[in-house]
Structure 1
Amino acid sequence: MTDHDVFNGDADGICALQQLHLSEPREAVLVTGVKRDIALVQRVRARAGDRVTVLDLSFDKNRDACLALLAQGAAVSYFDHHYAGEIPAHPALDVHIETLPDKGTSLLVDDYLGGARRAWAVVGTYGDNFDAAAARAAEPLALADADLALLRELGILINYNGYGATVEDLHFHPADLFRQLAPYADPLAFAREDAAFAQLREGYRDDMARAEDAELVHPGPRHSYVVLPAAPWARRVSGVYANALAQAEPARAHALLTGGVDGGYVVSVRAPLSTREGADALCRQFETGGGRKAAAGINHLPEAALEDFIAAFVAAF
């Protein structure tokens, strides 16, 4: 029997997997990629009797591949909080999917494990921009304010590392970053002791400083959007900068459009934090769009569709 762990390369996916591996250490084939690389289950080469664990990836985008694995005799455990569509009943499919606007995959795994690795769940939840939910989850840990702030920073940095057009844009391949985290039962120890944390912090600060020089386009009481150039630093910072804008202006919806490698735009959308609704419905109107209610994106928006997107964005919020 072989274990296959398939996970989103962002903070929520990595921290969900970290919890599972700390609770059940095992050798596994790791399948992951940049944050927007979500149709990952099709890459799994499993045989009858293998176990496949999928974390923080839309079931809707991976349904056919999951059904194929089940037909081959593999067992699939699925943890996610994105739009799922129809979920089939199958004796070898174990589903843990909720689409609440402030509960990510790290908290679903935390429920599954009974809070056994809560600190890592807090990191993943902060990384997914669910600050209030992360703070609530952290209450039983009775952490000092400085320690809680460090967990939040770690979540943001792991999430930041997942954004890019390809893994070459990233500071660490997500599988390598997971392996770097894996020995640390305590995320605070990783943040204080591992050189990877300092590397991510330095890169994040540099990229954010460039993004903050960009001009908000059409800022208003309900929405604003930003356009960043087609550059590696802009691709790396797109998601975390969108999160920062949402935190700074919680009554607004925000869209961040980053120039694509092959033209067009990569789009990150954040619904107003005051409602956390509507981002996924907006992005699913476009061919490569998807996500969750509070935060969603479009992997490729053609230049010709820019005006249509802006009109739909304004109408949605």
Structure 2
Amino acid sequence: MHYDVFNGDADGIIALLQLRLAAPKESVLITGVKRDISLLKQVDITKATSVTVLDISLEKNNQALQGLLDSQIDVFYIDHHRTGDIPKSNKLITLLNTDANTCTSLLVNDFLKGQYSYWAVAAAFGDNMHASASDLAQKVGLSKHQQNQLNELGTYINYNGYGQELSDLHFHPAALYQALLEYPDPFVLINQEDSIFNQLKTAYLADMAKACAADVLSDSDVVKTIVLEDAPWSRRVSGVFGNELANQAPDKAHIVITLNPIDIDLQSKNEGQKEQSYTLSLRAPLNNKQGAGDICAQFPTGGGRAAAAGVNALPKSRVDEFIKHVESYYRG
């Protein structure tokens, strides 16, 4: 039994889409909301014969990966996030590149020698890698209008992946992936009336309009912090809104904060007490795409890559500390 394990955002979905358009394979799909990256532990070792892993940090899945390898299960791992220590095994094949200007779908595009490059362009736009997306688009001869269409498509697929839980999303990522398999050419999807593309576009525009009216917690020449309310729309839009802010002010870092619906336990010295927590999305300045993953990794439940990262449950009492940490890092 083969398992396909992939991030529920644009990059994870489209990376798998390219692979399975090129080489169809019956598989068990394991995915989740974008921030649910500890996915590899869901693979049933007693049933799995092989596993493909896409766009989830090896560092965050190292223990589960080692368990698969110890059970002599073949693993193909493609990713661009922090790796940590990479296990040594003849059962493991990797395509890993943590460069801030690449993403998993671009790695798959290279692996497939450009077989579904239009989709790879959409994924790179969705992962807010506009320069890399435009470079590939120009290489394959796409017009500016076509680039804008793929930019929209990637953004909307990425937007669908954000949420505290699956019920926040418009489409389950596995269902969205399966629907997109019907479209080897993304332009057919884009130009189809009442398609998933148009459904997500309508929802995205409505959510973004609310985000643009959100409160500004802090704003300096180095970092800007926006606070969104505790609501499904804000959880859906948190990541793509951070991308939009980064594109508008490429010399600044941006933090988008969303109140979590469930309080977390305080430290052991206050056992039994609860504290509000926030989900944070951090975007490094587009003109200095480094440090976001390292900053977030210093806080519990935090991680990501150099240009974009987050913390899933930051205690309310540590928000100012986080902002000051970001400010200090990018001010140098």
Normalising by structure 2, what TM-score?
A: 0.93
Structure 2 unaligned regions, length at least 5:
263-275
Q: Which amino acid aligns with 1:313?
A: V
Residue of structure 1 in register with 2:219 after alignment:
219
Q: Distance in 1 between matches of 2:147 and 2:320?
A: 42
Give the AA of the match of 2:89. Answer: H
Equivalent of residue 320 in structure 2, options 307, 313, 317 = 307
Q: Deviations over 1:9-57 (max 9, x none)?
A: 0000001001000110111100000000000000011447711000000
| Cα separation, partners in 2 of 1:47 and 1:113, compared to 1, 3 Å | farther
Aligned residue for 1:125? 124
- Write the distance in 2 (CA, Å) between the matches of 1:93 and 1:22: 23
Matches of 1:224 and 1:91, distance apart in 2: 46
* 3-state SS of paired residue (2:191): helix
CA contact under 8 A between 1:47 and 1:74: conserved in structure 2? no
The structural deviation recorded for 1:218 is 2.5
Q: Residue 215 of structure 1: CA displacement?
A: 3.0
Residue-pair matches, total:
316
Q: For 2:142 and 2:108, locate their aligned partners in 1 and report how far apart those are by CA, in whole Å.
A: 21
The residue number in structure 2 matching 1:77 is 76
Change (3 A) 1:75 1:211: same
Shift of 1:88: 1.4
Give the C-alpha shift of residue 91 in structure 1. 0.3
1:276-295 per-residue CA deviation (whole Å, 9 max, x = no partner) reads: 01101110110100000000
Counterpart secondary structure, 1:218:
strand
Please say if residues 48 and 73 of structure 1, whose CA atoms lie closer than 8 Å, have aligned partners that are also in contact: no
The Cα of 1:122 is off from its aligned counterpart by 0.7
In angstroms, what is the RMSD of aligned CA positions? Answer: 1.1
Q: Structure 1 residue 94 and structure 2 residue 93: aligned?
A: yes
* Aligned equivalent of 2:268: none
Question: Is 1:260 matched up with 2:273?
Answer: no
Question: By how many angstroms is 1:248 displaced?
Answer: 0.3
Q: Which residue of 2 aligns with 1:206?
A: 206
Instruction: Report the 3-state secondary structure (helix = DSSP H, G, I; strand = E; otherwise coil) of the residue aligned with 1:114.
Output: coil
8 Å CA contact retained: 1:32, 1:40: yes
| Distance in 1 (alpha carbons) for counterparts of 2:89 and 2:53 | 16
Alignment correspondent of 1:274: 287
What is the identity, as a one-letter code, of the residue corresponding to 2:114? G
Matches within 5 A, 1:1-317: 2-47=1-46, 50-193=49-192, 195-262=195-262, 263-317=276-330
In the alignment, residue 65 of structure 2 is paired with which amino acid?
A: C
Query: CA separation in 2, counterparts of 1:126 and 1:261?
Result: 30
Question: 2:219 is paired with a residue of what secondary structure?
Answer: coil
User: In structure 2, how many angstroms separate the alpha carbons of the residues matched to 1:264 and 1:238?
Assistant: 15
Measured after TM superposition, the shift of residue 105 of structure 1 is 0.3
Matched residues in 1 for 2:317 and 2:249: separation? 29
Give the residue type in structure 1 aligned to 2:247: Q
Question: Structure 1 residue 66: deviation in Å?
Answer: 0.7
SS of 1:297 mapped into structure 2: strand
Task: Map Cα deviations across residues 122-147 of structure 1 (whole Å, 9 max, x no partner).
Answer: 11111000000001011232122211
Asked whether the equivalents of residues 242 and 254 of structure 2 are also in contact (C-alpha less than 8 Å), the reply is yes
Q: Hey, what's the Cα distance between the residues in 2 that align with 1:83 and 1:145?
A: 33
**How big is the shift at 1:313?**
1.6
Find the aligned partners of 1:315 and 1:145 in 2 and give their Cα distance: 38
Q: Give identity over the alignment, percent.
A: 45
Give the letter for the 2:38 counterpart.
A
Letter in 2 for 1:295: A
CA contact (8 A) 2:59 2:83 kept: yes
- CA distance in 2: counterparts of 1:280 and 1:143, whole angstroms: 32
CA distance in 2, matches of 1:294, 1:188: 28
Displacement of 1:303: 1.1
What is the SS of the residue equivalent to 2:32? coil
Structure-2 separation of matches of 1:158 and 1:63 = 27
TM-score if structure 1 supplies the norm length? 0.97
Distance across 2 between alignment mates of 1:28 and 1:189: 26
Deviations 1:231-278 (A, max 9, x none): 100000000000000000000000010111113100000000001011
Q: Which amino acid aligns with 2:299?
A: F
**Does the CA contact (< 8 Å) of 2:8 and 2:174 recur in 1?**
yes
